[in-house]
Amino acid sequence: MNEQITTYRQTFMTDSGRRVLAHLLTEAGYFDCDLKTPEEIAVLNFAKKIIKNLGIGNNPDNICQMVNKFFEISIGKEM
């Protein structure tokens, strides 16, 4: 694992780091399907870069693991 991935993981693997990461991804529109402007898309791409810097999404095996985790999440109320 390279130093950048290690540093990102050490930062975001704490409880506080996970909350901050969730907030950053939400604010960046990571979970939004209605982004339209180039600025919104640029911010979303930056959020994707954070995920990549965590070592997630860098290869098909990680992507499959991520998709499998989706099905461990309970279905909540619609917003």
**What confidence score (pLDDT) does residue 7 get?**
96
Who has greater pLDDT, 1 or 43? 43
- The more confident residue out of 42 and 60 is 42
Q: What are the domain boundaries of the chain? A: 3-70
Is the Cβ–Cβ distance between 47 and 32 less than 8 Å? Answer: no
Q: What percent of the chain clears pLDDT 70, i.e. is strictly above it?
A: 97
> Under 8 Å CB-to-CB from 31, ≥6 apart: which residues?
25
Say yes or no to pLDDT of 79 above 60.
no
Residue given tokens 């290690």 in the structure block:
6
Cβ–Cβ under 8 Å, residues 50 and 65? no
Length of the chain: 79
Per-residue pLDDT band for 78 (boundaries 50, 70, 90) equals: low
Instruction: State the Cα–Cα distance between residues 41 and 46, nearest whole angstrom.
Output: 9
